[in-house]
């Protein structure tokens, strides 16, 4: 269930008595990682700032935050995290990309070349809502949520097209703004800039399986 407000604590498989919080990484190379860390702290998991490949060890999931996708991509190449995050994902690690993180999760960006993780079979339109409409808010219907979610869009991308294995969770004017695959979630908007923790809960429970 999403939105039941329960804290996520799970028992270590090999421990006798201790419940230890699961570690969730937040990529901290550039952009809005602190807001995700604050929310994850409230939900009873242990957020970890990830700046190196070593930082991926022992994580149950990884958030790739909003920011500037070219800058984050270049820093991921320099740090080895582009390949590191791909390996983490293909070993089954859960990933959630918000905004620039959604751009990075895609397999191609319309009209330009930039480093991408390519974790989702999706064509990205970067800054897809136009130069004039740089920021806006909209109540969104989200597949699996019983009430609308306030989407905060800041120079947001959308997915132009998705391939098999991608489930669309929400659209704005026919444009895909939230989607998931087996161990990946993307949102074009910024749930970390609202008080509504349902997307963070959804990631922990439905994508990370905690
Ligand atoms: N437009 C930015 C990019 O494509 C993303 C903006 C954001 O993350 N708020 O990198």
Q: Which of 190, 200, 201, 208 is catalytic?
A: 190
Whether 208 sits among the annotated catalytic residues: the reply is no
Q: How many other CB atoms are found less than 10 A from the CB of residue 175?
A: 16
Classify 31 in phi/psi space as left (phi over 0), alpha (psi -120 to 50) or beta.
left
Q: Ligand 1 center to residue 19 CA distance, Å? A: 37
- Shortest-distance atom of ligand 1 to CA 127: 1
Angle CA 119–125–131, to nearest 5: 140
pLDDT in tens, the chain (210 residues): 455 555 665 444 444 445 788 999 999 999 999 999 999 999 999 999 999 999 999 999 999 999 999 999 999 999 999 999 999 999 999 999 999 999 999 999 999 999 999 999 999 999 999 765 679 999 999 999 999 999 999 999 999 999 999 999 999 999 999 999 999 999 999 999 999 999 999 999 999 999
pLDDT at 19: 73
pLDDT at 1: 46
Structural domains of the chain in order of their starting residue, each with its CATH number: 23-207 (3.40.50.880)
Whether 190 sits among the annotated catalytic residues: the reply is yes
Classify 67 in phi/psi space as left (phi over 0), alpha (psi -120 to 50) or beta.
left
pLDDT at 44: 95
As a whole number of angstroms, the distance between CA 83 and CA 62 comes to 14
DSSP strand E in 41-127: where? Answer: 46-50, 61-64, 94-98, 108-109, 122-125
HSE-up of residue 180 (Cα within 13 Å, Cβ side): 18
Q: How many other CB atoms are found less than 10 A from the CB of residue 117?
A: 23
Residue 67, ligand 1, Cβ within 6 A:
yes
């Amino acid at each position: 269930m999403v939105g039941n407000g329960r804290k996520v604590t799970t028992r270590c498989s090999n421990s006798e008595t201790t419940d230890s919080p699961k570690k969730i990484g937040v990529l901290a190379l550039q952009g809005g990682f602190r807001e995700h860390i604050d929310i994850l702290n409230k939900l009873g998991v242990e957020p970890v700032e990830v700046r190196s490949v070593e930082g991926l060890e022992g994580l149950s999931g990884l958030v790739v935050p909003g920011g500037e996708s070219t800058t984050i991509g270049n820093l991921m190449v320099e740090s080895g995290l582009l390949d590191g995050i791909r390996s983490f994902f293909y070993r089954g690690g859960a990933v959630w990309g918000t905004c620039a993180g959604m751009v990075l999760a895609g397999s191609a960006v319309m009209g330009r070349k930039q480093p991408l993780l390519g974790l989702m079979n999706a064509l990205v339109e970067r800054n897809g809502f136009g130069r004039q409409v740089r920021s806006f808010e909209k109540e969104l219907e989200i597949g699996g949520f019983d009430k609308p979610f306030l989407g905060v869009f800041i120079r947001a991308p959308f997915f132009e097209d998705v391939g098999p294995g991608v489930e669309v969770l929400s659209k704005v004017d026919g444009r895909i703004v939230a989607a998931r695959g087996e161990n990946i979630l993307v949102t074009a908007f910024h749930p970390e800039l609202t008080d509504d923790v349902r997307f963070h809960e959804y990631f922990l429970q439905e994508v990370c399986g905690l």
